[in-house]
Structure 1
Amino acid sequence: MNVQIVEVGPRDGLQNEKELLPAQVKIQLIDKLVAAGLKRVEATSFVNPRWIPQLADAEEVLQGINRPEDVRFSALVPNVRGMERARASGLTEIALFMSASETHNVKNINKSMEETFPVLREVAREALALGMRVRGYVSTVFGCPYEGAVPIDNSRRVTDELLEMGAFEISLGDTIGVATPKQVREVLAAMLRDVPTERLAGHFHDTRGTGMANVAAALDMGLRTFDSSIGGLGGCPYAPGAAGNISTEDLVYLLQGIGYETGVDLNRLVEAGAYIQEQLGRELSSKVLKAELASKRAG
């Protein structure tokens, strides 16, 4: 049984770091992730650099990385201008994002949900016309920092809209890390009434320590694609000090331990985690990374 991993550390992880890393460090990180066997990597973002200065070097990074033919690289884009920059950088896949809660959408991209749909439709139309693949993110599916519980119908509507726009896959995000396995099963049961499992991915954060349990619940419901971040990089501006995305090392360890094939070399993945941890100068949250590095020191 195979599970696809979408590595989002270079984008979703690093965009939350206070420190601005040199482009060469990001290039080396991505190359190490690819060398570990990851086949899908979200490398950067083409959001306005004023909003996310950590990723202002998107073109330089994409120009510098190795690009094996069997690896799919993507970038997050907010509008047609971002999509055009991604295309000019040689990407063939982009990701669109939108919240399932009105307040979070306004805070995050300064637009209401109704104002966001036409923008995304235009981007998707232009991208598909150029032969690009479009992935969709739905944020705050399992809870909003402003509104609390988010109605499942909100997530279903955004998902349906993105699929109608031509997105090949929708990543359902636990943006602030509040989901529990019971909730994951309930949300997926509702979503899967209309959407096949192969069109959905899980995007969990480990803010409250339930990230891997939520992956297990999603696996039980049939999902076979998960986003994760090397070292557990990331976080959420609405949950200060919280752990970030689920760690790629932890995810691979779990999946391999219960019999799923990932195509990822865990030893080389740990090397990538150790590299970015050293560059950031602080310990990352990945439990497998901590355990493996401690074992090596002891040995």
Structure 2
Amino acid sequence: MNWDMKGQLPEKVQMLELLLRDGLQHSAKVIPVETKLWFADQFVRAGYRVIEVTNFAHPRFMPQHRDAEDILKRVSELESVKKNNVHLKCYGMTRRAFERAAECAQSGYPPHSVAFTISAEDLHGRRNSGRTREEYFEEIPDFVRIAKENGFEIDMAIACVYGSPCAGPVPIENTIELMERGLDLGIRRFTPCDTTGESNPLRSYEYMATLVDRFGKYDDEIQFRVAHFHDARGMALANY
């Protein structure tokens, strides 16, 4: 393992704004579309060039995102978004969610990418998506096909990569296996997630160093040098 990453650090990093999707998805109060549009416009004016817009989850599970198609369309029409070529990212955890994203693309307002979340261990996976990793991989080829046929990219977000509230520490080999299987299916975007704030700065450094050692040779082809930390234990900024 190469522990010295100084020579591998980028000259700049890109920040992804998550409020419209991750930040609001569990809000008890449904936020009006006009308010979401105001936030999106302000994020772009502040300098963000990648925004997670919405989640194509069933409204029964996430009523906050019952306006998914409308908000994607209207955000894509914002002058600030068009002027700055902002990348609009959405979420979907099922084939129907990807079909809804495809319908948006066919209607003229495609997402640039759609992410799905697969857990690095199965107890959390069962609770979060109702599926084990193996069960999920029965569906993922359909996600890839739908994305390819409709011109948007697909992002594998891997939950609980550092640890799980259901099963404790999770070995990095689980993440590596998921990424390798995703690569075999044609996925080129990966987002390792500290879903419940389990990591610390040393673990985060060691983890990314291991991924760079394993996947750095694919830097021209894939995106994996991504950090997504939750602040459940007050360590998110330190981990970044």
User: Which residue, out of 76, 80, 90, partners 1:75?
Assistant: 90
How far 1:155 sits from its partner (Å)? 1.2
Residue 103, structure 1, aligned to residue 123, structure 2: yes
Q: Where does residue 239 of structure 2 map in the other structure?
A: 214
1:1-299, aligned counterparts within 5 Å?
Answer: 1-65=11-75, 66=78, 67-68=81-82, 70-89=85-104, 90=109, 91-196=111-216, 198-215=223-240
Greater RCO, CA 8 A, separation 6+? 1
Give 3-state SS (helix, strand or coil) of 1:208's partner.
Answer: coil
How far 1:80 sits from its partner (Å)? 2.6
CA contact 2:102–2:146 (8 Å) conserved in 1: no
Q: Render the CA deviation track for 1:203-258: whole Å, top value 9, x for unaligned.
A: 0111111111111xxxxxxxxxxxxxxxxxxxxxxxxxxxxxxxxxxxxxxxxxxx
- Unaligned stretches of 5+ residues in structure 1: 216-299
Q: Where does residue 7 of structure 2 map in the other structure?
A: none
Q: Where does residue 237 of structure 1 map in the other structure?
A: none
The residue type paired with residue 58 of structure 1 is A
- Unaligned stretches of 5+ residues in structure 2: 1-10
CA contact 1:169–1:201 (8 Å) conserved in 2: no
- Between the two proteins, what is the percent identity of the paired residues? 30
Provide the rounded CA distance (Å) in 2 between the counterparts of 1:172 and 1:116. 17
CA contact 1:181–1:213 (8 Å) conserved in 2: yes
How far 1:146 sits from its partner (Å)? 0.7
How far 1:163 sits from its partner (Å)? 2.7
Give 3-state SS (helix, strand or coil) of 1:42's partner.
Answer: strand
Q: Where does residue 257 of structure 1 map in the other structure?
A: none
How far 1:171 sits from its partner (Å)? 0.9
The residue type paired with residue 24 of structure 2 is L
- Runs ≥4 in structure 1, deviation > 6 angstroms? none
CA contact 2:208–2:225 (8 Å) conserved in 1: no
How far 1:189 sits from its partner (Å)? 2.5
Say which is worse superposed, 143-152 or 87-96, in terms of deviation. 87-96
CA contact 1:44–1:76 (8 Å) conserved in 2: yes
Provide the rounded CA distance (Å) in 2 between the counterparts of 1:175 and 1:164. 25
Provide the rounded CA distance (Å) in 2 between the counterparts of 1:110 and 1:57. 24
Provide the rounded CA distance (Å) in 1 between the counterparts of 2:151 and 2:29. 35
TM-score, with length taken from structure 2: 0.84
The residue type paired with residue 40 of structure 2 is I
Q: Where does residue 4 of structure 2 map in the other structure?
A: none
How far 1:130 sits from its partner (Å)? 2.3
Give 3-state SS (helix, strand or coil) of 1:193's partner.
Answer: helix
CA contact 1:40–1:71 (8 Å) conserved in 2: yes
Give 3-state SS (helix, strand or coil) of 2:210's partner.
Answer: helix
Say which is worse superposed, 88-97 or 136-145, in terms of deviation. 88-97
How far 1:2 sits from its partner (Å)? 1.6
CA contact 1:100–1:141 (8 Å) conserved in 2: yes
Say which is worse superposed, 16-25 or 107-116, in terms of deviation. 16-25
Give 3-state SS (helix, strand or coil) of 1:83's partner.
Answer: helix
Root-mean-square deviation (CA, aligned residues, Å) is 1.5
CA contact 1:134–1:166 (8 Å) conserved in 2: no
Provide the rounded CA distance (Å) in 2 between the counterparts of 1:130 and 1:179. 36
How far 1:52 sits from its partner (Å)? 1.1
Structure 1 pair 127–55 and aligned structure 2 pair: CA distance change class (3 A): same
